[in-house]
Amino acid sequence: MHLAVAIFASALVLTLALDNGLMRTPPMGWLAWERYRCDIDCERDPKNCISENLFKDMADRLSEDGWRELGYVYVNIDDCWSSMERDKQGRLQADPKRFPGGIANLARYMHDRGLKLGIYGDMGTHTCGGYPGTNLDQIETDAQTFADWGVDMLKLDGCYSNESVQAEGYPRMSKALNATGRRIAYSCSWPAYQGGLPPKVNYTQLGEICNLWRNYGDIQDSWDSVLSISDWFFKNQDIVGPAAGPGKWNDPDMLIIGNFGLSTDQSRSQMALWAIMAAPLFMSNDLRTISSGARAILQNKAIIRISQDPMGVQGKRLLKDKCGIDVYWRPLSDNGSALVFFSRRNDMPYRYQISLSKLNYTTGLYKMYEVFMGKVGTVEDTSEFTVSVNPSGVVMLYVFPPVKHRQFHGNANRGSHI
């Protein structure tokens, strides 16, 4: 249905980005910015500079190390990729020294490996790093350039612009991308530049023109940054949560798992909270040297299954207990659900007791799977169970639909521990 709509609408140049049939589940992949920023010193730092070699290296890792099969298919270029000048026809062009093959060649490299290429632009006079931006009179040119190159996703930032330029430019780019006839996913940074909340941000409109959007500031490689971002989203969950769904996602920014700022428990927490939020899963790390522990978290199939649930409902925080434990919940397809118990404590593992009935689960016997430890348990809705949550860590449960007592042949674990 969505493919037919996209083909028909591209001919009429009337469709909105939501109708492009893309990103029906939160997108997954790799993004350069947090880990590599604007490192353009390829003479002294050839392995880490923003160049075609870096993106080919990451593509090789995604295609050869089991990432692609799990859904990590986007390889996204961020700022500082272009030349400082447009070409004679007024088109953006890649830096010739760092991208000697050009972006079209890099896109083919991705496509040959079953991957997709994302690129970065800015709805302003310059990008945040000072490279050529997209002025209002250049929107259609840039959209067609990206399509000609075979690009699969555009992230459009908002530096060096103003409110009126953004209000006109972001919707126009949506139409321009569709007019190319190539299906290009569209990531808008627009709400992040307008404070992330109504009345300045119209989430109904965003859902009609963008596949995903940045609501808040950039993530940094620190636990404080992860916590401040997640707290903002859950504080405003009743506003931003309903805006998300298949083809349109809130984006709390990149996964920094595998870098330098998070412990193992904090890495698990980011992965779990991002899955509860139905957030895009764009890693920003070095896949060439990533530890086995970080890889295990990012490749956890149970969490990815929760993240990629086709119903596409963003989860919410149910409880913020005075003991320092938060409880989060996300409804899933086939009457399943996900629960996360997150510790704000910094002293020791905390044994938290709760029952499903206190979390508004209906009567029945439930099977639960703990996604990090692989433990399975069953519990009556009214029976208390205990989870042991490490400081700044999580326990994440996949909760199966309830089983009627007469159909269940096992025994419930009353007062069980998971």
For residue range 198-221, what is the model confidence (pLDDT) as tens digits? 999 999 999 999 999 999 999 999
Does residue 416 fall inside a structural domain? no
Residue 412 is assigned to a structural domain of this protein: no
Sorting pLDDT into bands at 50, 70 and 90, what band is 100? very high
Q: Residue 186 domain-assigned?
A: yes
What CATH number does residue 145 fall under?
Answer: 3.20.20.70
Cα–Cα distances (Å) from 49 to 79, 190, 212, 372, in that order, read: 12, 28, 27, 34
Q: Is residue 417 a part of any domain in this protein?
A: no
Q: Is the pLDDT of residue 139 over 80?
A: yes
357/383 same-domain check:
yes
Write down the pLDDT at residue 214: 98
Residue 56 lies in a domain: yes
Q: How many domains does the chain have?
A: 2
pLDDT per position as a tens digit, 241-281 = 999 999 999 999 999 999 999 999 999 999 999 999 999 99
pLDDT recorded at residue 133: 98
Residue 13 has pLDDT above 70, yes or no: no
Tokens of 235: 């504080």
CATH number at 331 reads: 2.60.40.1180
Asked if residue 1 has pLDDT above 90, the reply is: no
Question: Do residue 39 and residue 162 come from a single domain?
Answer: yes
Whole-model pTM over 0.95: no
Q: Residue 237 has what pLDDT?
A: 98
pLDDT-based confidence at residue 18 (cuts at 50, 70, 90):
low
Beta carbons within 8 Å of 67's beta carbon, 6+ residues apart? 30, 61, 287, 299
What's the pLDDT tens digit per position in 329-340? 999 999 999 999
Residue 370's pLDDT is what? 98
Q: Are residues 372 and 226 in the same domain?
A: no
CB 132 within 8 A of CB 140: no
- Domain enclosing residue 258, as ranges: 2-307
Contact 281, 26 (CB under 8 A): yes
Which residues are catalytic, by number?
157, 218
Query: In the chain, pLDDT over 70 holds for what percent of residues?
Result: 92
Q: Are 291 and 366 members of one domain?
A: no
